[in-house]
Copies of this chain bind each other. A is one copy, B any other.
Amino acid sequence: MNNVRMDNLSWVEYERRVQSGAVVFLPIGATEQHGPHLPLGTDALLASAISEDVAREIHGIVAPALAYGYKSQPKCGGGQHFCGTTSVDGATLIAMVRDAVREFHRHGVKRLVLVIGHYENQWFVTEGIDLALRDIGPDAGLQVMRLEHWEFLQPQTIERIFPDGFPGIALEHAAVIETSMMLHYHPQLVALDRIPAHGPAEFPVYDLYPTRTEWVPASGVLSSALGASAQKGQWLVGDVIGGIVQAVRFEFALGEV
């Protein structure tokens, strides 16, 4: 039994922990193409693994991930024309988050962290939180943190991993960072020999609809994952775990637990 996973706890144990002030984490991922070498579940798997690592350090609880995210966009996820990418409408994601936040509030949770693992989710998650807080009223006593885990990467780590220059987080879809993190957490799900070798995708500053699918490499990888390693994954995950633990402790005034 993994005792930070909410779905592994009985309600009695969950209630006991919530009443003693446990922070609850909700990973919000996607089911989205991640090239020929990473699995469709990458975003949810990483957001869940990171949430569990953080939760273990601060006696938190990790709720079941939202496994379907907002529609993949060409510039950050390849786009909706890929087979396997399974996305929801904005209204659906907003509703899922709204309902979940409202329910955690009903449980008595005071400190909730939404851990986003899919770039496209951010604004719909934000709206879901806002609507839930409107529902429960201004004095409900629930504090919600929303974060994208890659935002906690340190500049020095990025420099160490990309000594020849960082192509930018926007192109890091199925590339070195995600692949390294997956090699750290789920090496058996990474097909190193299937990493495509092509250079980074180039996009204009605007978007066109219907999607210009020719802008996106056929592999779905936006910049190459060659050079990814479990060691780099460890460094990256270290930044993220450390950063989130610190943020949660600081903002939610948790002592060292």
Contact = CB atoms under 8 A, between A and B. Distances in A.
Nearest to A207: B146
> Copy number of this protein in the oligomer?
6
A90 B206 contact: no
A205 B151 contact: yes
B206 A89 contact: no
B68 A100 contact: yes
Interface stretch (A3-11, A51-59, A156-164, A223-231): A3-11
Among A10, A15, A126, which residue has the most Cβ atoms of chain B within 10 A?
A10
Interface string A88-120: 111110111011100110111000000000001
Interface string A32-56: 0111111111001100000000000
A11 B124 contact: no
Contacts of A82: 11
Interface residues of A, number: 90
A200 to B, nearest CB: 18
A1 B188 CA distance: 6
Given A131-B89, A152-B205, A206-B151, A40 B83 contact: no
Interface in A171-220: 188-189, 191, 194, 204-210, 220
Contacts of A83: 11, 14-15, 18, 107-108
A104 B88 CA distance: 11
B89 A127 contact: yes
A51 to B, nearest CB: 14
Among A131, A151, A208, which residue has the most Cβ atoms of chain B within 10 A?
A208
A238 interface: no
B65 A67 contact: yes
Given A151-B206, A209-B129, A7 B44 contact: yes
14 contacts: A1-B189, A7-B40, A8-B40, A10-B37, A11-B83, A63-B86, A68-B96, A68-B99, A83-B108, A92-B98, A126-B207, A133-B209, A146-B208, A208-B251
